[in-house]
Chains A and B, each alone.
Chain A
Amino acid sequence: GQQLNQSPQSMFIQEGEDVSMNCTSSSIFNTWLWYKQDPGEGPVLLIALYKAGELTSNGRLTAQFGITRKDSFLNISASIPSDVGIYFCAGRDSGSARQLTFGSGTQLTVLP
C-alpha cells in the first residue's frame, strides 16, 4: 500500500523562527493536504494542493506540491505560540480507490 514519510517527527523552535516540514510518498499523488491537530480535537485543514508545482499560501503558511507528485512541504513563517500542535500531511492517489493516506505527523513546539 501507499506509504508516507513525514519529517521531522518533532521540532522545537523559538518564537519568531521559520519552520519547514515535508512529506514524501512511495506513489504518485494527485492531491496533497496539510492539517493541524490540537489536543482533543480533530485535524483541521490548513492548505489543499491539487497540481504538481502548485505553491499555495494561507497567512503565514505556505505549502508546495512537488514536481514529481511524490512530495510536499509546509513552511510556517514567524512562528507564534498558537502554532503549537501536530501537523499532518495527507495525500490522495490517482487510482480508483481515492484513498487519503496520512503521514505520522510533526509535533511542533514553539518556545517563548
Chain B
Amino acid sequence: AQSVTQLGSHVSVSEGALVLLRCNYSSSVPPYLFWYVQYPNQGLQLLLKYTTGATLVKGINGFEAEFKKSETSFHLTKPSAHMSDAAEYFCAVTLISSGSARQLTFGSGTQLTVLP
C-alpha cells in the first residue's frame, strides 16, 4: 500500500519569493511520484513526474522537484512565485509493480496563496 502526506494545508508566500511545498510518501515498492495543480473549478493539471533516472525533475511553469529516497520526500519548489501560481497543489504516488492498475494515491493538498 502507498500513502502521501503533504505538510501544510495552506502556504502563503510573497510574489517573487521561493515556493516550497512539502510531500512525503510511503511505499513498499519503488514509487512513481507526481505533482498536480488544480485551479478553482477545474480538473488536475500535471506539473511534473518522477519515474526513473534523474532525481531532480523539471516541470512546467518553472517548477521542479527532487526525489530523495533516503528521506522518502518529493518536495516541490519554484525560485520565484508569480500571482498566477495561486492554486491547490497535490502530490500523488503510484506503484511501479506490474499488474497494478497504477491508480494514483493523492495527498490532501496544499493551498498556495501568493501575496502582492
Do A and B share a complex? no
Residues of B within 8 A of A (CB): none
Residues of A within 8 A of B (CB): none
